[in-house]
């Protein structure tokens, strides 16, 4: 697994991540969603540099221009609901991409433990395609693994790009343990070391779904 950690680079993305973490700025839900979207756009642009292109001729009013264009479009997948603004940003760049959506959530138990419940998957054929799987937070890694396994039922991608705003070290290790032989790249805005007993990243930013769309019942 190749890992790109943008917190170690000079990038405007670090400003957006800092704003999403900021407890005062988080009170503006529209700004939080916009920062998720803008972050998705930056990740998508960086991923676009790794894809395969071919030379295409375009007729202009004054002649013919040759440009490099994608040979094939990726499939952009996300986990509902927190991933929607993030997904939208990636789709702003890959505006011809196909899309996949997975409904997954924490099912809490009375003893304060929880499991990841999955109820909904819609996805095109992934065989030999480039898959971009985005979720704002890669915490324990369990929901990402379950989501990826569900998507793999629709075919095996040629390459997978897993994209998160913030990842935990434990979550990254969980991915490595469960997908040791898969061809994928991890893109993240920052990597935080600590994970609580309830699988929240510290310092993290909190619940991305609640911050983007309001608290759930």
pLDDT in tens, 60-94: 999 999 999 999 999 999 998 889 999 999 999 99
Cα 40 to Cα 92, 133, 136, 201: the distances in Å are: 9, 11, 9, 20
Model confidence, pTM: 0.91
Structural domain harbouring 171? 2-213
* DSSP run (H or E) holding 88: helix 84-93
Q: Quickly tell me which residue has 């990740």 as its tokens.
A: 43
Cα(105)–Cα(83) distance, rounded to whole angstroms?
12
Quote the number of domains for the chain.
1
Q: For 147-198, what is each residue's pLDDT tens digit?
A: 999 999 999 999 999 999 999 999 999 999 998 887 899 999 999 999 988 8
Q: Give the separation between CA 117 and CA 3, rounded to whole angstroms.
A: 27
Q: In CATH, what number is assigned to the domain containing residue 136?
A: 3.40.50.2020
């Amino acid at each position: 697994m190749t890992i790109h950690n943008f917190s170690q680079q000079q990038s405007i993305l670090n400003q957006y991540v800092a704003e999403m973490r900021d407890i005062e700025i988080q009170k503006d839900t529209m700004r939080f969603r916009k920062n998720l979207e803008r972050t998705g756009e930056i990740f998508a642009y960086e991923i676009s540099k790794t894809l395969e292109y071919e030379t295409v001729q375009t007729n202009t009013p004054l002649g013919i221009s040759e440009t490099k264009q994608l040979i094939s479009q990726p499939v952009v997948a996300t986990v509902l609901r927190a991933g929607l603004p993030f997904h939208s940003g990636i789709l702003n760049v890959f505006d011809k991409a196909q899309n996949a959506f997975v409904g997954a959530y924490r099912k809490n138990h009375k003893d304060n433990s929880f499991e990841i419940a999955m109820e909904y998957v819609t996805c095109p054929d992934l065989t030999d395609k480039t898959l971009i799987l985005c979720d704002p937070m890669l915490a324990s890694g369990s929901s990402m693994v379950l989501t990826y396994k569900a998507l793999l039922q629709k075919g095996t991608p040629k390459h997978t790009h897993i994209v998160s705003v913030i990842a935990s070290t434990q979550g990254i290790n969980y991915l490595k343990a469960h997908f040791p032989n898969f061809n994928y790249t991890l893109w993240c805005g920052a990597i935080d070391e600590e994970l609580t007993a309830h699988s929240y990243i510290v310092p993290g930013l909190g619940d991305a779904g609640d911050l983007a769309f309001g608290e759930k019942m």
